[in-house]
Structure 1
Amino acid sequence: MATGILTDETADRIVTTCRTAIGDSLRSVTYFTRDDYEQVYLREDLERDADLSTFIGHEWRGFKTTQAAYEGSELGAYDYTIRVFENGFLIRVTNDSEGVFVTTDGLTVKDFEEVATALDAFLSDRGLS
């Protein structure tokens, strides 16, 4: 499903990382940068009708706003964001130059931590931050 900003190998690596941590609860995976995005996975029972460009804009601004708002607080450094919706969850893992957001069915906090840690390692390995 790669469209150009990621190689097929890198897109597969992101999906494998998420599938390993989340399993069948994985709904979608979208990789993004400041300027572009690529949905690298969409579960086959879901419609391809989400407005991803709006989601990406919101998630990028949300990361920057959250990072700035809590910088230097006693909470420590920002790790990741979980959003809870009526029909699922969204987890966003972002650094200064790229990020991934994943949508899921129900998960436990341990599941979120696993996928966030794995995606953070993936983004760090790429060396873009």
Structure 2
Amino acid sequence: MATGLLTSEASEQIVTTCRTAIGDSLRSVTYFTRDDYEQMYLREDLERDADLATFIGHEWRGFKTTQTAYEGSELGAYDYTIRVFENGFLVRVTNDREGVFVTTDGLTVKDFEEVATALDSFLSEREIS
């Protein structure tokens, strides 16, 4: 399924990466740039009523704000963000050009690290291309 933003192979690679790391706890996968987005996966039991355009705007600004705010701190470079909600979690992995956010049911910190590292590798490989 080519989205216009990604080739079908790249889209499939992101979803497979997330499914492998998260399993049945995966709720959704959305790829985004500053100007556009594509939801690549939504679990069957969930409704398609999320305001993704607003989410993307917030996540993009959130990345830029976080990156700038902590730049040069003793914490080191920004890696990824975990947001905790009543009914699940959102993990955002972003670079200067693009990002992916994944929503999940409950996971362990190790699970978050695994999916974030895999997505970061994917995005880094795309920067080289």
Is there any run of 5+ residues in structure 2 with no aligned partner, and where? Answer: none
Q: 1:42 to 1:10 in 2, by over 3 A?
A: same
- Counterpart in the other structure of 2:17: 17
What TM-score, normalized by structure 2, do the two folds share?
A: 0.97
What TM-score, normalized by structure 1, do the two folds share?
A: 0.97
Aligned equivalents of 1:4, 1:77: Cα separation in 2 = 31
- Cα-to-partner distance string for 1:42-70 (whole Å, 9 max, x where unaligned): 00110000000000000000000000000
Aligned equivalents of 1:21, 1:53: Cα separation in 2 = 26
SS of 1:101 mapped into structure 2: strand
- Counterpart in the other structure of 1:36: 36
Tell me the C-alpha RMSD between the 2 structures. Answer: 1.2
- Counterpart in the other structure of 1:54: 54
Runs of 4+ in 1 over 3 A off after TM superposition: none
The answer to whether structure 1 residue 107 and structure 2 residue 107 are counterparts is yes
Is 1:2–1:40's contact at 8 Å kept on the other side of the alignment? Answer: no
> How many Å apart are 1:128 and its aligned residue?
6.1
The answer to whether structure 1 residue 82 and structure 2 residue 82 are counterparts is yes
Aligned equivalents of 2:28, 2:75: Cα separation in 1 = 29
- The one-letter code sitting in structure 2 at the alignment partner of 1:116 is A
Aligned equivalents of 1:9, 1:44: Cα separation in 2 = 22
> How many Å apart are 1:3 and its aligned residue?
2.8
Is there any run of 5+ residues in structure 1 with no aligned partner, and where? Answer: none
Number of residue equivalences: 129
Aligned equivalents of 2:40, 2:56: Cα separation in 1 = 14
